[in-house]
Amino acid sequence: MSEGSSLLGRWLLAGLGLAALTREKAEELLQDLVRRGEITRDEATRLGQEIRERALGQRSEWRQRLDEEGQKFWASAGVATRAELEELRRKVAALEERLDRQDTVQ
């Protein structure tokens, strides 16, 4: 695994760990509020659902940003994309075919 991909992996794992920790803390806080009588169980359930929905939206946003940053990183490192490699393969195959036809004609 290269240094860059290792770094990206560590950032991703750190983000996922933080999200799990935050969810657990939010659930603990809601349970504590119910125990103290400051909110009802129904309110806690509704708030918990709202927190989960927001977290899912943020997770999606993080993934998009991570993808964008990863693409920038690999592009700056001079690594070809899969699409670029496929285009090169097509061009090489076309050139080989032209050479084969020229060899047959000569």
Share of the chain above pLDDT 90, in %: 17
Token pair for 35: 């125990």
Share of the chain above pLDDT 70, in %: 79
Q: Where are the domains of the chain?
A: 3-79
pLDDT, tens only, 3-43: 444 555 566 555 655 566 577 777 887 788 889 888 788 88
pLDDT greater than 90 at residue 45: no
| pTM of the predicted model over 0.85 | no
Locate tokens 């794992």: which residue? 13
Return the pLDDT at 85. Answer: 94
Positive/negative CA dihedral, 65, 49, 38, 28 = negative
Q: Could you tell me where the DSSP H helices lie in 36-81?
A: 41-76
